[in-house]
């Protein structure tokens, strides 16, 4: 910059002003053209955000009427995309219920049937693949996850010298993911399930960084599910199809458990390693296990999250 080149003020001659006008227009036009060219990829945008969707309120602020409209809209969208008419409901937590999961490490054989039952039940993306449950193959004698094998693929399970530890959302009583979310898109319900409003999440992934259990999954791109694999029994906070750019995770199969059924991972387990129920009911299986087992484990107890997911052994 040799000088400040202060713009000339005052009248310029006709010739100069015409020339400078032409030059300015040329620069402006090429600038706009360059900007338009750089924005060209946006033409592939098919999933426009509708105005009603853009201004949709937070789950907790929707009136029952508004919720009805939202559920109707979701059903319409699912039908349009998958040609399947779904039943989308908003299941509320039940009074006097606190769900707890118990998993018997002595029984688990590492077959990963739970992983796939979960994917099928909860409409997780098949491509790219999203799974809520991660089964760790661990050498006998240690609970140190650093010794775990995540990608074991032997001809048959179980293998000698190892035990298997499935890990999914631990539904903590003191969930770090809820604390860090800047927009309260994830919270803990009265029955102990930590849920996500997929229509409110901004996709900052702070919860994913905060989770000590690697339980959260992000939709790095548009999820895809084959039409014939879609589970049409859906819930707003649970297994309805997600969009690109939002977080999801295990929600104890809200659409089943709040309707009095067992989670899909439990039903499919061939070894009977999984137990689920209302811990506030003294007659429940989980209450019995927590009362009678001498040792059970909450993963990473030292982090202070206080999981509602308990690992135990047959002794």
Number of residues that bind another protein (CB under 8 A): 72
- Which positions from 56 through 85 interact with another protein, judged by CB under 8 A? 58, 61
- Which positions from 278 through 297 interact with another protein, judged by CB under 8 A? none
| Separation between Cα atoms, residue 170 and residue 194, nearest integer Å | 9
| Separation between Cα atoms, residue 174 and residue 154, nearest integer Å | 37
Read off the tokens for 134: 């991660």
Residue count (the chain): 315
∠ at Cα 260 (255, 263), nearest 5°? 55
Among 90, 284, 303, 313, binds another protein (CB under 8 A): 303
Find the shortest distance in angstroms from Cβ 116 to another protein: 18
Span from 68-76, 177-185, 254-262, 267-275 in contact with another protein (CB under 8 A): 177-185
In terms of CB distance, is 218 or 279 closer to another protein?
A: 218
Find the shortest distance in angstroms from Cβ 208 to another protein: 5
Span from 108-116, 117-125, 243-251, 263-271 in contact with another protein (CB under 8 A): 243-251
What does residue 155 show for φ and ψ, rounded to 5 degrees? Answer: -65, -35
- Which positions from 146 through 175 interact with another protein, judged by CB under 8 A? 146-148, 150, 167
- Which positions from 1 through 30 interact with another protein, judged by CB under 8 A? 1-10
Span from 90-98, 206-214, 229-237, 281-289 in contact with another protein (CB under 8 A): 206-214
In terms of CB distance, is 47 or 281 closer to another protein?
A: 47
Span from 41-49, 71-79, 98-106, 288-296 in contact with another protein (CB under 8 A): 41-49
219 binds another protein (CB under 8 A): yes
209 binds another protein (CB under 8 A): yes
180 binds another protein (CB under 8 A): yes
Span from 78-86, 89-97, 138-146, 258-266 in contact with another protein (CB under 8 A): 138-146
134 binds another protein (CB under 8 A): yes
In terms of CB distance, is 62 or 97 closer to another protein?
A: 62
Among 14, 45, 155, 282, binds another protein (CB under 8 A): 45
In terms of CB distance, is 162 or 262 closer to another protein?
A: 162
């Amino acid at each position: 910059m040799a000088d400040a080149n202060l713009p000339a003020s005052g009248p310029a001659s006709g010739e100069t002003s015409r020339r400078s006008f032409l030059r300015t227009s040329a620069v402006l036009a090429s600038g706009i053209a360059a900007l338009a060219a750089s924005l060209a990829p946006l033409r592939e945008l098919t999933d426009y955000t509708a105005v009603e969707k853009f201004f949709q309120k937070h789950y907790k602020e929707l009136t029952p009427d508004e919720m009805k409209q939202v559920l109707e809209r979701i059903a319409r969208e699912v039908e349009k995309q998958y040609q399947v008419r779904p039943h989308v409901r908003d299941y509320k937590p039940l009074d006097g219920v606190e769900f707890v999961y118990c998993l018997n490490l002595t029984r688990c054989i590492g077959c990963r049937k739970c992983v796939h039952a979960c994917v099928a039940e909860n409409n997780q993306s098949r491509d790219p693949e999203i799974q809520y449950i991660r089964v760790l193959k661990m050498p006998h004698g240690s609970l140190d996850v650093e010794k775990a094998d995540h990608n074991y693929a032997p001809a048959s399970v179980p293998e000698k010298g190892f035990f298997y530890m499935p890990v999914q959302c631990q539904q903590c009583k003191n969930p770090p993911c809820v604390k860090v979310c800047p927009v309260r898109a994830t919270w803990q319900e009265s029955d102990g399930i930590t849920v996500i409003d997929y229509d409110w999440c901004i996709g900052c992934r702070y919860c994913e960084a905060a989770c000590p259990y690697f339980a959260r999954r992000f939709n790095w791109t548009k999820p895809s599910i084959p039409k014939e694999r879609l589970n049409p029994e859906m819930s707003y906070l649970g297994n309805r199809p997600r969009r690109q750019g939002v977080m999801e995770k295990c929600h104890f199969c809200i659409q089943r458990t709040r309707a009095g059924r067992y989670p899909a991972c439990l039903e499919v387990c061939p070894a009977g390693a999984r137990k689920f129920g209302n811990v506030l009911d003294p007659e429940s299986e989980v209450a019995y296990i927590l009362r009678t087992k001498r040792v059970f484990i909450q993963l990473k107890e030292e982090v202070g999250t206080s999981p509602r997911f308990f690992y135990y052994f047959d002794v």
